[in-house]
């Protein structure tokens, strides 16, 4: 699903590469934790998958596409196969829960009857049925993140990227979010989650890819957060 | 869904940024008014030309007994000189230029003069002998008067060759000047409105960076993301063009029909139909400039 082959990314302003010769293959339906300290290259990894950035060297393949050769007008089609969730939720404060989720479908031109059918389904999946008409500021942090996950997942993407999704949440709420992501993973969606949350990683026992200063230092099936460092 | 959604986004954008929207509309309206006024001046000149050029002629005044021009040194024009002139007027050399000519005797000139100035005391002081004989020449192409004037000017027996177009050309030059002045002002104001649209779209893009960021991530197309912003600029420009059209119609009603047409009945004047005829140009200029300004602004300030 996601294939990095000797990928190096150097940002213009800096000498040191943000990613340095990283190779990894993430298969369909996998759940992968991306761990490492701040500045280790986790976000760059996710941005390369989204083609927010292009690799300086090496090849990135996502969902069967060679991103180096992907024409810019085809990038939206790529992104429709990828859902993204952020630490800060990024909800639209003036829209209701329903509207926030529906927005993701409206802007890619889905017809109303599709929206009216799929949005309630996905809200039920994330456990927010009954709260459709609330605005983000009327929700708890955990609920807001559930809205963000619903929005990322409503178009049934093949890949879900999560960048520190529990970073702003307390441990109990974080567990709830993790269970939700696990449930989404069980539908066959590939999940890549960048995180600092040691307890979660240790509990889940999923594959762990660890980055340090742009280098891939560990790729371990059923790993824990700190092992090998 | 799409149409409704985009229309909604455009409405929200215009409303949220109301003061900027109003300034874009007003500046565009004023600039397009000047642009349209220039177009109307041009149409007025064309109307006047159509009207007057059909009527202008070249008048060739012959020497009288008391003429003091150099070509009249030998006194009043002789019959032989007149015959030569008439032969030339009907000759092959001037045939392409001269449509029609006639001779006006001193008596005919006096009759016309007394008729023209019937109410004036000046008639009592003028005698038949004081008015010159003349040839009145109408041209096939009124713009070719120079040829005829040059052909006869300075010839013995001819006191003066008078091109009536010279008088009109003064008027036309004035109207042309007015037109270019209007366009000059319009140019400056259009530049201002382009910069305003640019800034407005930039602000709008900044205000909605959250929305556009999400649109990008969920895979909305570049066109779909940019469309509402471009439409905002275009809608504002169209409102400006509507106001400009209303202003020109009002101006035509008050100044042309209400004032000039009442007092100076020299020719046809531009009317409401002319304003409507140039309105599409005002819309086109407004829309194109707004679209280009929006697009350039988006290229710069909206990452897609």
CA geometry: angle at A173 spanning A170 and A179, to 5°?
135
Task: Report the candidate in A217, A227, A226, A190 with the shortest Cα–Cα distance to residue A23.
Answer: A217
- A84 and chain B in contact, CB less than 8 A: yes
Average pLDDT, chain B: 85
- B6 and chain A in contact, CB less than 8 A: no
- A78 neighbourhood in chain B, CB within 8 Å: 219
Contact between residue A75 and residue B225 where contact means Cβ atoms under 8 Å apart: no
- Please give the average per-residue pLDDT across B154-165, as a whole number: 82
Closest CB from A103, A109, A110 relative to B214: A103
DSSP code, position A96 = -
DSSP code, position A16 = S
Give B146's pLDDT tier (boundaries 50, 70, 90): confident
pLDDT in tens, A30-67: 999 999 988 899 999 999 999 999 999 999 999 999 99
Q: Tokens representing B301?
A: 């300030």
Contact between residue A154 and residue A106 where contact means Cβ atoms under 8 Å apart: no
Give B262's pLDDT tier (boundaries 50, 70, 90): confident
Residue B288: pLDDT over 80: yes
Cβ–Cβ below 8 Å for B218 and A151: yes
- Please give the average per-residue pLDDT across B185-207, as a whole number: 88
pLDDT in tens, B224-254: 888 888 888 899 999 999 999 999 999 999 9
- B216 and chain A in contact, CB less than 8 A: yes
Residue A229: pLDDT over 50: no
- Tell me which of A107, A109, A154 to substitute to probe the interface with B (most B C-beta atoms closer than 10 Å): A107
- Token look-up 């002139």 returns B85
Q: Tokens representing A11?
A: 């940002």
Contact between residue A189 and residue A196 where contact means Cβ atoms under 8 Å apart: no
Return the pLDDT at B264.
72
Give B259's pLDDT tier (boundaries 50, 70, 90): confident
CA atoms within 13 A on the CB side of B260: 14
Burial B181-204 (b: 16+ CB within 10 A, else e): ebbebbeebbeebbebbbbbbbbb
Give A165's pLDDT tier (boundaries 50, 70, 90): very high
- B227 neighbourhood in chain A, CB within 8 Å: none
Q: Which of residues 97-156 of A touch B (CB under 8 A)?
A: 103-104, 106-112, 115, 151-152, 155
- Token look-up 């092959």 returns B92
Q: Tokens representing B266?
A: 């020299």
- From B288's Cα to the closest Cα of chain A, the distance in A is 24
pLDDT in tens, A91-130: 999 999 999 999 999 989 889 899 999 999 999 999 998 9
Residue A50: other Cβ atoms inside 10 A: 18
Q: Which residue of B has its CA nearest to A148?
A: B214
> How many Å apart are CA A43 and CA A46, to the nearest integer?
5
Residue A89: pLDDT over 60: yes
- B213 neighbourhood in chain A, CB within 8 Å: 90
Closest CB from A79, A111, A115 relative to B218: A79
Q: Which of residues 153-182 of A touch B (CB under 8 A)?
A: 155
Percentage of residues in chain B with pLDDT exceeding 90? 20
Alpha-carbon separation of residue B33 from A161, A162, B187 (angstroms): 54, 54, 11
Return the pLDDT at B31.
93
Cβ–Cβ below 8 Å for B218 and A110: no
Q: Which residue of B has its CA nearest to A49?
A: B217
Cβ–Cβ below 8 Å for A76 and B220: yes
- A216 and chain B in contact, CB less than 8 A: no
What is the separation, in whole angstroms, between the first and last Cα of chain B? 22
Contact between residue A168 and residue A141 where contact means Cβ atoms under 8 Å apart: yes
> How many Å apart are CA B244 and CA B251, to the nearest integer?
10
> What is the DSSP code string of chain B?
-HHHHHHHHHHHHHHHTHHHHHHHHHHHHHHHHHHHHHHHHHHHHHHHHHHHHTT--EEEEEP-TT--SGGGTT-SPPHHHHHHHHHHHHSTTTTTTEEEEEEE-HHHHHHHHHHHTTTSGGGGG--GGGSPPEEEEEESSGGGHHHHHHHHTT-TTEEEEEETHHHHHHHHHHHHHHHHHHHHHHHHHHHHHHHHHHHHHHHHHHHTHHHHHHHHHTT--HHHHHHHHHHHHHHHHHHHHHHHHHHHHHHIIIIIIIIIHHH--SS----HHHHHHHHHHHHHHHHHHHHHHHHHHHHHH---
> How many Å apart are CA B101 and CA B136, to the nearest integer?
5
Closest CB from B2, B211, B218 relative to A155: B218
B68 versus A6: the higher-pLDDT residue is A6
- From B227's Cα to the closest Cα of chain A, the distance in A is 11
- B15 neighbourhood in chain A, CB within 8 Å: none
Cβ–Cβ below 8 Å for A90 and B213: yes
Q: Counting beta carbons within 10 angstroms of the beta carbon of residue B166, is it exposed (0 to 12), middle (13 to 18) or buried (19 or more)?
A: exposed
CATH topology of domain B57-163: Alpha-Beta Plaits (3.30.70)
- Tell me which of A77, A106, A163 to substitute to probe the interface with B (most B C-beta atoms closer than 10 Å): A106
Q: What are the structural domain ranges in chain B? A: 2-52+169-301, 57-163
Contact between residue B69 and residue B117 where contact means Cβ atoms under 8 Å apart: no
- B222 and chain A in contact, CB less than 8 A: yes
> How many Å apart are CA B209 and CA B197, to the nearest integer?
18
Return the pLDDT at B133.
87
- B70 and chain A in contact, CB less than 8 A: no
> How many Å apart are CA B78 and CA B157, to the nearest integer?
7
Phi, psi of B246 (to 5 degrees): -65, -40
- B214 neighbourhood in chain A, CB within 8 Å: 90, 92, 103-104, 107, 151
Q: Provide CB contacts within 8 A for B268, sequence distance 6+.
A: B47, B51
Q: Which residue of B has its CA nearest to A85?
A: B217
Percentage of residues in chain A with pLDDT exceeding 90? 76
Cβ–Cβ below 8 Å for B5 and A106: yes
pLDDT in tens, A144-161: 999 999 999 999 999 999
> How many Å apart are CA A156 and CA A75, to the nearest integer?
17
Q: Tokens representing B135?
A: 């040839």
pLDDT in tens, B79-99: 888 888 888 888 888 888 888
> How many Å apart are CA B229 and CA B151, to the nearest integer?
65
């Amino acid at each position: 699903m996601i294939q990095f082959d000797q990928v190096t990314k150097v940002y213009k302003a800096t000498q040191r590469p943000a990613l340095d010769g990283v190779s990894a293959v993430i298969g369909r339906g996998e759940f992968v934790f991306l761990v490492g300290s701040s500045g280790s290259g986790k976000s760059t990894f996710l941005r390369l998958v989204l083609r927010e950035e292009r690799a300086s060297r090496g090849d990135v393949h996502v969902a069967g596409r060679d991103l180096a050769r992907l024409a810019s007008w085809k990038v939206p089609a790529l992104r429709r196969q990828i859902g993204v969730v952020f630490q800060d939720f990024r909800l639209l404060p003036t829209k209701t829960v329903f509207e926030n989720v529906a927005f993701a479908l409206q802007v890619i031109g889905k017809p109303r009857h599709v929206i009216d059918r799929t949005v309630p389904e996905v809200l039920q999946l994330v456990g927010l049925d009954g709260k459709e008409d609330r605005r983000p500021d009327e929700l708890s942090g955990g609920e807001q993140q559930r809205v963000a996950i619903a929005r990322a997942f409503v178009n049934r993407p093949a890949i879900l990227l999560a960048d520190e999704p529990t970073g702003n949440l307390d441990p109990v709420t974080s567990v709830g979010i993790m269970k939700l992501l696990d449930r989404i993973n069980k539908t066959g969606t590939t999940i890549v989650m960048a995180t600092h949350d040691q307890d979660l990683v240790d509990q889940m026992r999923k594959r762990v890819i660890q980055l340090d200063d742009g280098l891939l230092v560990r790729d371990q099936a059923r790993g824990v957060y700190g092992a090998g460092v | 869904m799409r149409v409704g959604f985009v229309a909604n986004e455009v409405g929200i954008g215009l409303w949220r940024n109301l003061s900027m929207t109003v300034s874009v509309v007003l500046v565009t309206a004023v600039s397009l008014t000047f642009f349209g006024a220039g177009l109307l001046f041009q149409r007025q000149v064309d109307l006047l030309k159509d009207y007057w050029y059909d009527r202008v002629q070249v008048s060739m005044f012959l020497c009288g007994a008391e003429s003091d021009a150099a070509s009249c040194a030998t006194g009043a024009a002789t019959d032989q000189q007149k015959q030569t002139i008439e032969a030339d007027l009907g000759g092959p050399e001037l045939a392409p230029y001269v449509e029609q000519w006639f001779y006006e005797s001193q008596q005919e000139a006096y009759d016309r003069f007394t008729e023209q100035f019937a109410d004036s005391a000046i008639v009592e002081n003028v005698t038949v002998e004081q008015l010159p004989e003349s040839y009145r020449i109408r041209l096939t192409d009124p713009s070719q008067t120079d040829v005829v004037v040059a052909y006869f000017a300075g010839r013995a027996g001819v006191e003066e060759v008078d091109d009536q177009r010279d008088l009109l050309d003064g008027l036309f030059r004035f109207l042309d000047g007015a037109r270019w002045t209007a366009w000059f002002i319009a140019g400056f104001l259009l530049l201002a409105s382009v910069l305003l649209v640019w800034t407005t779209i930039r602000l709008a893009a900044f205000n909605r960076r959250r929305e556009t960021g999400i649109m990008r991530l969920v895979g909305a197309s570049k066109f779909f993301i940019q469309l509402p912003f471009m439409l905002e600029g275009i809608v504002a420009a169209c409102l400006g063009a509507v106001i400009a059209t209303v202003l020109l119609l009002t101006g035509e009603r008050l100044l042309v029909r209400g004032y000039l047409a009442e007092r100076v009945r020299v020719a046809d004047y531009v009317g409401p139909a002319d304003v409507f005829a140039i309105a599409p140009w005002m819309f086109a200029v407004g829309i194109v400039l707004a679209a280009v300004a929006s697009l350039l602004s988006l290229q710069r300030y909206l990452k897609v």
